[in-house]
Amino acid sequence: MLQVKQITKKFDKEDAVKSLSLSVKKGSIYGLLGSNGAGKTTLLKMIAGIYRPNSGEILINDKAAYENPDIREKIFFIPDALSFYPQATVKQMAGHYQYFYKDWNEKRFEELQKVFKIDLNRKVQRLSKGMKRQVAFWLALSTMPDFLILDEPIDGLDPVMRQKIKNLLFQEIAERNLTVLISSHNLREIEDICDHVGIMHKGTMIIQKDLDDLKSDTHKVQLALKDPSHEEHLLNKLDVLHKEKRGSVLLLIVKGKEDSIRKAIKSTELLLFDLLPLTLEEIFIYEMGDVGYEIENILL
């Protein structure tokens, strides 16, 4: 279990991450979403032990991660901007990781060559962007990590390779209880693979929930009132995240379970009523709107 407790990170005088808490259960995939500059990379780098928080603590299986080299060795971070030794071949990079990671698994490395099919003698810096990312996953999985921290992991990967890597992650989760924390702007990908989601804005976590709960907690409602003067009364009964009017039709994004929304609306006479679930992308946009991120007229 990964527990982040009230961590803050300042750059100069600005808080990049403010008193943020989060917990990720063993064997789960947690998707970290957020606006540009929200502090996602800074948070991941603190968890990976690259930045030291100004305050707060990061615990892995109840032990302080930063001070504990054995724990830090079981966390593997694949950053957004990859870096390799300038002249190193894939084989030499593997040798480097073998030296530094005591659980390096040579057999696993050889098995994974069948997936990645990249010549071991090629210089990593001369590989394409997507191939470099494949090498990063290849090396990461060969260190047999307990925690994999991924910053924009699919950038540059073709759809077939994306699927292969997803399958590898699912396999590691099923067989070894690997825990994965992913930061991404690709919400479809997050929706597809994550079981838990957190949304960050301006250094804080504005919402974190089980993905299924999050999706059943917000709905898109389209309605037309028989008597338009009842609009305010109706809206007061709903937790409205966003409202738009198109002629006499009201388009609403409403927080709450389907049953409670239907119940709140029941006593109002309507000419039209439609209730639809939201995609994660839509939930993200309206949650951001709720905290003051400008989202005028983008009802999807």
Ligand X SMILES: Nc1ncnc2c1ncn2[C@@H]1O[C@H](COP(=O)(O)OP(=O)(O)OP(=O)(O)O)[C@@H](O)[C@H]1O
- Contact set with ligand X (CB under 6 A): 11, 16, 34, 36-42
Burial environment of residue 167 by CB neighbours within 10 A (0 to 12, 13 to 18, 19 or more) = exposed
Backbone angles phi, psi at 15, to 5 degrees: -85, 115
Nearer to ligand X by C-beta: 155 or 258? Answer: 155
Nearer to ligand X by C-beta: 203 or 256? Answer: 203
Under the phi-then-psi rule, with left for phi > 0, alpha for psi from -120 to 50, and beta for the rest, what region is 226? alpha
Q: Are strands 239-246 and 249-255 parallel, antiparallel or unpaired?
A: antiparallel
Least distance to ligand X, CB of residue 200, Å: 6
Nearer to ligand X by C-beta: 9 or 215? Answer: 9
Least distance to ligand X, CB of residue 15, Å: 9
Least distance to ligand X, CB of residue 199, Å: 11
Which of these, 93, 147, 83, lies nearest to 119 by C-alpha position?
A: 93
Which of these, 176, 185, 117, lies nearest to 141 by C-alpha position?
A: 176
Least distance to ligand X, CB of residue 36, Å: 3
Least distance to ligand X, CB of residue 265, Å: 37
Q: What are the strands of the beta sheet with 249-255, ordered from one edge?
A: 239-246, 249-255, 218-225, 270-277
Least distance to ligand X, CB of residue 74, Å: 23
Nearer to ligand X by C-beta: 73 or 80? Answer: 80
Burial environment of residue 128 by CB neighbours within 10 A (0 to 12, 13 to 18, 19 or more) = exposed
Nearer to ligand X by C-beta: 38 or 112? Answer: 38
Q: Residue 209 in contact with residue 278, Cβ under 8 Å?
A: no
Token pair belonging to 177 = 């209880």
Q: Where are the alpha helices (DSSP H) in 101-252?
A: 106-116, 129-142, 159-176, 187-193, 211-216, 231-236
Least distance to ligand X, CB of residue 17, Å: 7
Nearer to ligand X by C-beta: 9 or 74? Answer: 9
Burial state string for 174-194 with b = 16 or more CB within 10 A and e = fewer than 16? eeeebbbbbbbebbebbbebb
Q: How far apart are CA 186 and CA 204, in angstroms?
A: 20
Nearer to ligand X by C-beta: 42 or 89? Answer: 42
Least distance to ligand X, CB of residue 80, Å: 7
CA atoms within 13 A on the CB side of 15: 13
Q: At which residue do the structure tokens 């995939």 appear?
A: 29
Nearer to ligand X by C-beta: 42 or 208? Answer: 42
